[in-house]
Amino acid sequence: MTLAAATNENLAGISNVLIYSAMAVYTLAFLAHIAEWVFGSRSKVGRTAAALTTDADAARSAAGPVVQTRAGGTAVLERPKVVTRSAAGQRDVPDGPGAHGGTEKGDLYGRIAVSLTVLAFLIQAAGVLARALSVQRAPWGNMYEFSITFSTVAVGAYLGFLAAKKNIRWMGLVLVATVLADLGIATTWLYTESDQLVPALHSYWLWIHVSTAIFCGAVFYLGAVGTLLYLFRDSYEAKLARGGNPGGFARSVLERLPSAASLDKFAYRVNAAVFPLWTFTIIAGAIWAGDAWGRYWGWDAKEVWSFITWVAYAAYLHARATAGWKGRKAACLALIAFACWLFNYYGVNLFVNSLHGYAGV
């Protein structure tokens, strides 16, 4: 058999070059984001935490307004304006201005960072594609390939949110930093030569199950970042509301983030939207296991941790619907759930003996 010949060494080499190039561009994006934050810290908004409390008061007094829209001219039909009001009991704190803190320079660097991220994303996606073409199969046969796909998808989702005009640029720095970490780990420790798959991975379920698993993980990651920042921002707001005086760092950094309510909502939406897909991923995996190993569910380590992750996210969703558990407690559950996902990925593959471990790491 000459299956090995199917591995196109050239393309595999190109893929590696592309991945390294993407890392270089991400590094530039990272620096640009740093510049954005640094310039942003010089803004007036950034320095006046007190202003926030007064803004919040203003927002609160705005609760329950009526907006009357009148047609100014004769024939103009204006739409009636809808006024929103957050749920009772939530602070009516406005969103921060973002990393650039409202400064022109910060904003410029932010835009440069996003542009660089787009470029790096394209290069990285090309790298994943080249890897796939080099072996003529889905590029998810081992941990190196999972990792490079994973961060591509995470960045893709982030750029997707940006393209849909969602306020998510605040995540840029953290995201780019983790993508660099992920690629660093992938290229130094997890690197595996481009190669064919062992027979157990030959199945169209590979496409279905693994692609959704990677997608879920990447988007859960965005949710987890939102949740984590929510926790910080929430204690910051709580402190302000109590009349406390947060430290300079908190004032400068947390202030520029969206409000705790917005972050929480973002995290919830993302997690809730992905949860059904994650459910599907596990079921697809069970069906595949049924075909590959003759049993649908055998409590293999990977299966156990997928289950744990699933139950943890279910607990999070329940917590949000349970009085006394919303807010911070639910957020902690969401973080635990994501930690389970991470462990399922790194921990089980590297430390625990699992049937899933045949992928040459």
Judged by CB under 8 A, does residue 36 bind other proteins?
no
Per-residue CA distances from 303 to 43, 151, 284, 354 (Å): 50, 23, 12, 9
- Which residues within the stretch 131-170 sit at the binding site for other proteins (CB under 8 A)? 162, 165-169
3-class state of residue 191 by DSSP: coil
132-168 burial, b at 16+ Cβ within 10 Å, e below that, comes to bbbbebbbbbbbbbbbbbbbbbbbbbbbebbeeeeeb
Q: How many CB atoms lie within 10 A of CB 291?
A: 11
Judged by CB under 8 A, does residue 327 bind other proteins?
yes
Judged by CB under 6 A, does residue 318 bind ligand HEM?
yes
Stretch that binds other proteins, among 25-33, 52-60, 176-184, 217-225 (CB under 8 A): 52-60
Token pair, residue 282, equals 């596990």
Question: Left, alpha or beta for 68 (phi > 0: left; psi -120 to 50: alpha)?
Answer: beta
Judged by CB under 8 A, does residue 34 bind other proteins?
no
Stretch that binds ligand HEM, among 110-118, 134-142, 145-153, 315-323 (CB under 6 A): 315-323
* 209 versus 320: smaller Cβ distance to ligand HEM: 320
**Nearest distance, CB of residue 278 and ligand HEM, angstroms:** 10
- Which residues within the stretch 55-114 sit at the binding site for other proteins (CB under 8 A)? 55, 58-72, 74, 77-92, 94-98, 100, 102, 104, 107, 110
* Binding residue (CB under 8 A) for other proteins from 149, 152, 262, 349: 262
What is the chain's Cα-based Rg?
23
- DSSP letter assigned to residue 167: S
Q: Cα–Cα distance between 125 and 181 in angstroms, integer?
A: 17
Instruction: Please work out the total of residues on this chain that contact other proteins, with binding judged by CB under 8 A.
Output: 121
* Binding residue (CB under 8 A) for other proteins from 10, 20, 136, 295: 295
* Binding residue (CB under 8 A) for other proteins from 32, 300, 334, 345: 300
Residues 192-231, mask of contacts with other proteins (x by CB under 8 A)? -x-xx-xxx-xx-x--------------------------
Per-residue CA distances from 277 to 212, 264, 270, 273, 290 (Å): 7, 21, 11, 8, 20
By a kind-dependent CB cut-off of 5 to 8 A, residue 85 interacts, out of ligand HEM, other proteins, none, with other proteins
Residues forming the site for ligand HEM (CB under 6 A): 314, 317-318, 321
